[in-house]
Amino acid sequence: MYNYDYRWLHRRAVNYLPLADQVNSITFYREPKNVFQMFIAGATHALGGWDLDHRVAYSSADKTYPATFQVSTGFNGVQLGVDRTDPNFPLFSVTNGFDLTDPSALRLRNMQITQAPRSEYEYAVETNAGRDLSLGGYSAHLRAGLRATFKDAEQAQPD
């Protein structure tokens, strides 16, 4: 199995801090590229009344981001009123005459460019044995097995 996933993510959010009379806007942009692959091999056979099965698997996932860009901007001195007539869609209005369309009042709060690529590798082995039984006139199936999984993951920490 092979999966290649590339997206363009652009998110925006606005928050209002009434105690600080502040409205902030956050813009988030990222282009993640995720590559996942898995290889599985297995076998089954019978041996003296026992059914045996075996499986080995390898998978890897690489998640990379050319860059994550986040910008926070905002206005100071804004007072908003909230109309909650429709609880699912509140309406906000400026109550102190502040002009939210004036670009000269917009302040840069924070700007970050980060990367945090991640890689994961997993190895698994499994073997099982099963046998049909008859116990006191009832049919039953006994099955037991062993499984081992080894996983390693690395993620870079943003600056």
Domain ranges of the chain: 2-155
CA-nearest of 79, 66, 80, 72 to 34 is 66
pLDDT of 159: 59
**Which residues are CB-contacts of 40 (< 8 A; sequence separation ≥ 6)?**
55, 56, 57
For residue range 107-132, what is the model confidence (pLDDT) as tens digits? 999 998 888 888 999 999 999 999 99
Tell me: the pLDDT tens digits for 48-107? 999 999 999 999 999 987 778 899 999 999 999 989 999 999 998 999 999 988 989 999
Rounded to two decimals, what is the model's pTM? 0.58
CB proximity list for 31: less than 8 A, separation 6 or greater: 6, 7, 8, 9, 65, 66, 67
